[in-house]
Structure 1
Amino acid sequence: MNGYGKVARPDPCVMELVSRLAREPWTDRPSCVHPTLSAVARAVHDHSSSAGRRALLPLAPSFLGTAQPGFESTARLVSLCVSTALVGGELTTDERRRLSRAHQTAVHFLTGQDELAGSARWWFPVLDRVGQSESFYRTFVAPEHAAEAVSVTARAADDVRLRGLLKQCLAVAGSAVATAPSIVAGGRAPI
């Protein structure tokens, strides 16, 4: 980790409230929330003022049930956060390179047109052969990319803009949930 997720939390995180609403153990990584969306929420919380953190709490119910698998919703979240960071602030050369590669990889997963970039060129083919590429991207790679992008965006953004970015991410995750096939008891989609 590059340090962008290591900020002391004096106020409860919106993800901790979500864990309570979902009747999960107290955590800032509830299983009912998409891991990348959860990383964005934690990063927005960490870079908000105390008043900004409190303003995030009413969003808690919107996070419930967003933990849908799939490259599309994950890549859309990364693409949104990274493109916001790339156009909205001053970046170091290393940050610009990492975020550009993250964006290129997200676009690849959305369209299949661009080449995989950065380390994804190496891990994706190996993990794809064993059926683990999506979960690895969704759980480990994408949250790191999104959290770094929020950290970069936060340098030039106030609480309102950060909350707006989080709301956009919720809309992306919510649209993925709305278009996912509904699951009935027994774990099967209706025919």
Structure 2
Amino acid sequence: MASVGFMVCISLERYLMITQPLWFRFRRNIKNSVVVCVVVWMLPLVYVIPTFFKASFQLIDTVCGVFLLLPFPLFIFFLVGTSKALSAARSVPADEKRRIVAILVAVLLIYTLLFLPSIILILMEEAKFNPILNTTAFLLLKISPLADLTLYIFIRKGVVDELLASLSCCKMSTNQQVISMSNDMPATCSQSV
């Protein structure tokens, strides 16, 4: 639940940064970020606390499912709104536009692929008895920290650039080796090829 909450925070931040840049610049501070983080970490208690009071598991599952399903339309809204605002923005470089949209698409994909099967499992009574869906949803939730790490790598500006640069350097050195090998071939070999 906290992971989904932070994914919503990331999407909202990117959306506000693009669509409301002045408001975002003047309202963003450490105090607000700390308050948001505390609230995101406290929201899962809505799911945990009722278990101590012996509440109905059906009610707890429904609350959890609804809580996890609410971000889906938000992710779509943030992606579409940011894409529209970026297409009209002239001051944002093209590579930065691609990076911002890539982050929002990654958030939507992570949510859809990793969390949506569990939400379906929680909300649909018939799905709870399907062992394949149970196992799949469980495994996908277990790899969600890896997806969070991937998302963090996308958010960091220099990491992706360095990764792509190192990959292109490896490709360039391989191409240079092939070119130097073809230059070192005897004239008869290169003429026969």
Same fold (TM over 0.5): no
Higher relative contact order (CA 8 A, sep 6+): 1
Q: TM-score, normalised by structure 1?
A: 0.31
Q: TM-score, normalised by structure 2?
A: 0.31
Larger radius of gyration: 2
